[in-house]
Amino acid sequence: MAKTGQREEPIQALLKEGRKFPPPKEFTKAARVKSPAIYKEAAANPLRFWEKQAKELRWLKPWKKTLEWKLPYAKWFIGGKLNVSDNCLDRHVEGPRRNKAAFIWEGEPGDSRVLTYWDLYREVNRFASALRKHGVKKGDAVTIYMPMIPELPIAMLACARIGAPHSVVFGGFSPESLRDRINDCKSKVVITADGGYRRGGQVALKKNTDEALKGCAFVSSVIVFKRTGQDIDWHRDRDIWWHDFVKDADAYVKPEPFDAEDMLYLLYTSGSTGKPKGIVHTTGGYLTGVSATHRLIFDLREEDVYWCTADIGWVTGHSYIVYGPLANGATGVMYEGTPDFPDKDRFWRIVEKYGVTILYTAPTAIRTFVRWGDEYPKRCNLSSLRLLGTVGEPINPEAWVWYWKVIGGGRCPIVDTWWQTETGQILISPLPGITVCKPGSATFPFPGIEADVVNDKGESVDAGYLVIKRPWPAMLRGIYGDPERYQRQYWSQIKGVYFTGDGAKRDKEGYFWLLGRIDDVMNVSGHRVSTMEVESALVDHPAVAEAAVIGRTHEIKGQAISAFVTIKVGRPQTEELKKEIKEHVAKKIGALARPDDVIYAAELPKTRSGKIMRRLLRDVAEGRALGDTTTLADATVVSDLKQKYEDKEG
């Protein structure tokens, strides 16, 4: 371990990034938050800050107490009652937003639908009524396994309206993954579609559901939306078409007042041990946290066209496609398919077509766009954009600068937002009108959030573990059915604080820099080096588009650094270039971080949400049999790499 003064540092910070990007003046002039006073105010009285945010919502009964904190369980807005669907819909249809677009949806084949708040309200009411007539009651978990079509948020909001927690399972998951998740929460009703469009093909959602249900005897009904019209098997006693299901439903279901602490949804996240954990989110605090962060971090204006490119099957879609934006009465774009269908310019075509003003995407997508080349965004008019965001992984400074220049045209602030399925809401991010950004840094904790970087003893250090020191409204309320794991995983490593599992460093000006998962930190000759920093140095080389770095066992150094890189289109992949790349890293962040081997990869192994699976690369580099590959987006990627590695690289 490195030492600062007397304190042991769990990670050694190497990367120096000196560039600064102040918010463009024009942006600040019109921004919602123009003064840093918001940080001071919130720090002086965080509860008052959150109360103020909560008051932006419609409460059917006011709360009596703002927070009860008995570690590790927090309760927010105790005694308060509200209905999430009432906040996302009824509130808006009663006023001038009635005919405003809630969702502008584009299907992958190019079909398009616009749903106004009134449309969405009508559809949600019908579906909520149908669910209720079907016997779904408050507290019954409902599993939703759908493509990115408007019926997905409709189903979620209908569940919320009647108090049935939903469990959305990402449409790319296999029948086994779907089965595990249904089994864990024992839902009797599953909502799906015949299929969905993806990269020009059709995903077999109904077929997967049939397969999954072979192991779930307690599922009594499957509601099927007809999206593609593909051939499917039909189980008469179990399956119901969506259009038949809503035929006799009522047009209105009164939004019942639910307790602020009633469960809104469950969302499974795979975690390191493989068995998925059902993260529990509740009603009042969650909606407060997501609506406030969405409004302030995305500087939301009435006329914005906001596009979050995530899939609703992930937490990003729950919080920042559905609940945050709808609570705020925003117009959101929703897209069904992939960024390269029919061509690699699809995202930019959509931005131009709908005049998108705010774009929120993932570093993995940005690095892919860098690799494809500038010609695709250059084909389109992106001048409607005024703000950009990223989430999901640390963003390498070079990818950040590319995003700023090529997509934002040097006009748009970038909000690099750090958070997790468990945190429910963004916790670390710039406020775009006031924060001077540094590429690669998520900058500062959101007002009202207290984060720290600590060592094993819980002492503040410059580089170590990221922890959160105070409860926040949208925090998880537990792991479904596993209180012991909740306590162990998040509240036991360091006493009294929430353990994020991420490494971070804090610079002299107090900026937070995320360094990736703690499990990925390497130990090279006694130095604890973050994979993120070496990867950023690699991506800084002009030929490198994307990089994944791992430590493999080395007799002398403890661990040696293996770097898997993808090269930009059109650059020859020579031995000479490998040497150049290694030297580039040594020069940029120091000789100790010079990769021992560089391996050219056509693709890097990623989860379906785009995170690099370094664990599998370690298996490849150590010559081990591959561990669990079920969460991998494309299984052939690692087998190809394994072959290549065995053929000797270096």
Residues lying near ligand PRX in the complex (CB under 6 A) are found at 269, 315-316, 391-394, 416-421, 442, 500-502, 514, 517, 609
CB burial readout 437-464, b (16+ within 10 A) else e: bbbbbbbbbbbbbbbbbbbeebeebbbb
Helix axes 151-162, 117-133, angle to 10 degrees: 60
Residues facing residue 451 across a β-bridge = 468
How would you class 402 by CB atoms within 10 Å of its CB: exposed for 0-12, middle for 13-18, buried for 19 or more? buried
Nearest distance from residue 90's CB to ligand PRX, in Å? 28
| Closer residue to ligand PRX (CB): 404 or 418 | 418
3-state secondary structure of 233: coil
| Closer residue to ligand PRX (CB): 124 or 280 | 280
Nearest distance from residue 116's CB to ligand PRX, in Å? 29
Cβ neighbours of residue 513 under 8 Å, at least 6 residues apart?
13, 15, 394, 440, 441, 442, 504, 505, 506, 507
Alpha carbon distance 642, 95 (integer Å): 59
Q: In what order do the strands lie in the sheet with 189-193?
A: 239-241, 221-225, 189-193, 142-145, 166-168, 263-269, 277-282
CB burial readout 605-627, b (16+ within 10 A) else e: bbebbbbbbbbbbbbbbeeeeee
Report CA-CA distances (Å) from 183 to 215, 345, 586. 8, 40, 50
Strand 221-225, strand 239-241: pairing: parallel
Nearest Cα to 148, choosing from 86, 184, 197, 181? 197
How would you class 407 by CB atoms within 10 Å of its CB: exposed for 0-12, middle for 13-18, buried for 19 or more? buried
Nearest distance from residue 503's CB to ligand PRX, in Å? 9
| Closer residue to ligand PRX (CB): 183 or 607 | 607
Nearest distance from residue 309's CB to ligand PRX, in Å? 12
| Closer residue to ligand PRX (CB): 348 or 418 | 418
Nearest distance from residue 315's CB to ligand PRX, in Å? 5
Residue 642 near residue 620 (C-beta atoms within 8 A):
yes
Alpha carbon distance 33, 615 (integer Å): 41
Run of H or E including 307? strand 305-308
| Closer residue to ligand PRX (CB): 49 or 419 | 419
How much helix, strand and coil, in percent to the nearest 5, is found in the chain?
30, 25, 45
Nearest distance from residue 173's CB to ligand PRX, in Å? 14
| Closer residue to ligand PRX (CB): 189 or 391 | 391
Q: Examine residue 342 and say whether the peptide bond preceding it is cis (omega within 30 degrees of 0).
A: yes
| Closer residue to ligand PRX (CB): 150 or 392 | 392
For tokens 């604080």, name the residue.
497
Residue 131 near residue 189 (C-beta atoms within 8 A):
yes
CA 173 remoteness from chain centre: 16
| Closer residue to ligand PRX (CB): 329 or 516 | 516
| Closer residue to ligand PRX (CB): 326 or 532 | 532
How would you class 556 by CB atoms within 10 Å of its CB: exposed for 0-12, middle for 13-18, buried for 19 or more? exposed
Nearest distance from residue 499's CB to ligand PRX, in Å? 11
Nearest distance from residue 234's CB to ligand PRX, in Å? 35
Alpha carbon distance 125, 133 (integer Å): 12
Nearest distance from residue 419's CB to ligand PRX, in Å? 5
| Closer residue to ligand PRX (CB): 230 or 629 | 629
Nearest distance from residue 630's CB to ligand PRX, in Å? 16
Nearest distance from residue 287's CB to ligand PRX, in Å? 17
| Closer residue to ligand PRX (CB): 59 or 320 | 320
Nearest distance from residue 502's CB to ligand PRX, in Å? 5
Run of H or E including 406? none
| Closer residue to ligand PRX (CB): 220 or 272 | 272
Nearest distance from residue 439's CB to ligand PRX, in Å? 12
| Closer residue to ligand PRX (CB): 219 or 518 | 518
| Closer residue to ligand PRX (CB): 53 or 500 | 500
Nearest distance from residue 100's CB to ligand PRX, in Å? 27
3-state secondary structure of 196: strand
